[in-house]
Amino acid sequence: MKIKKIKRIGLLTSGGDCPGMNACIRSVVRIAIFKGLEVCGIFKGYQGLIEGQVKPLNRRSVSNILSYGGTILKTARSSEFKSLPGQKRAKSVIEENGLDGLIVIGGGGSFRGAHLLWQRWKFPVIGVPATIDNDINGTDSTIGADTAVNTALYAIDKIRDTATSLERIFVIEVMGRETGYIALQVGLAGGAEDIIISERRYNIDKMSADIRAGHKKGKVSWIIVVAEGAASAAEVAGKITRKTGFETRVTVLGHVQRGGSPSADDRVLATRLGAKAVEFLIAGQADKMVGVVDSRIKAVDLSYAIKKKKVDTETLYKLIRILAL
């Protein structure tokens, strides 16, 4: 089918914000203008699209945002866009503003919305993967994940100091929705003794026996990283105290992992993916995500990107356990 020549594009960020979104916005806006396109920012994600919160952006609109976390376009989780009337309203706003294509920076939920716009009206959308969870199929990395891992690691290193001094067990909860990516990475980088992720079963009795055995061998502190979707850190800590008799403390890192200045890796990834998303739209691509595989950027079908990502967690888990004991 023939896709209309792209002259004016819309850009939105959707779902949970993450460090690097601004770097991506800057890249999209400046590359699009460089290529002769007009760019409109849509504020507050799909909800803002439904409400017509659309404003033209120029090169200066994105000055000095590269190093900031969050998103200057704001973001939202829109329940209205999940309904057909909401989607129809969004489509009318697209037409009223003369948009020929849209770039959506976000995660799985945001891509499901983008895919719908193509399925219903053949409106060209390109997705840019941005979520601290790194749970998008078809890309090795998502914007924001590297910074989030470093933020969590920074906190865990500090917790290790007090855990060692007072000879305590710490159960630390990290974000990641249903995926254990952040937990695995910080588990390895922070020398955690164990991790709990939803990708694998865990056994509190075995964990407690390991703690007791480790104690006999002279281990004085213990860090267990729990991925938020896998278990409640408070419950895990309670059970360990009951079974071992050792003192435990719980730290829930929470939304601190979503903020802050993006790492160099996230800025580079965001800039490369944003630029490529514009090129894909100009080249007539639609219903695709820009993914990075083995450092190369490629076009991934959105229908594939939104499927559950399969990852080998076992290899890293074994490494964490062997190194910790």
Binding footprint of ligand F6P on the chain (CB under 6 A): 16, 107, 131-133, 175-177, 228, 258
Q: What is the DSSP string of 200-250?
A: S---HHHHHHHHHHHHHTT---EEEEEETTT--HHHHHHHHHHHH---EEE
15 vs 190, which CB is nearer to ligand F6P? 15
- Please state, in angstroms and rounded to a whole number, the distance separating the CA atoms of residues 309 and 269: 20
Min CB(258)–ligand F6P separation in Å: 5
How many C-beta neighbours within 10 Å does residue 224 have?
26
- Please state, in angstroms and rounded to a whole number, the distance separating the CA atoms of residues 291 and 136: 9
133 vs 287, which CB is nearer to ligand F6P? 133
Min CB(166)–ligand F6P separation in Å: 29
The sign of the torsion formed by the CA atoms of 3, 9, 10, 16 equals positive
Min CB(182)–ligand F6P separation in Å: 8
Placement of tokens 């290790």 in the chain: 160
Min CB(25)–ligand F6P separation in Å: 18
- Please state, in angstroms and rounded to a whole number, the distance separating the CA atoms of residues 268 and 154: 21
175 vs 277, which CB is nearer to ligand F6P? 175
For the chain, helix, strand, coil in percent to 5 are 45, 20, 35
Q: Does residue 140 carry a catalytic annotation?
A: no
177 vs 272, which CB is nearer to ligand F6P? 177
Q: Using N-to-C axis directions, what is the helix angle for 145-166 and 264-282, rounded to 10°?
A: 160
Which residue among the candidates 100, 133, 135, 194 is catalytic per the annotation? 133
> Which residues are known catalytic residues?
133
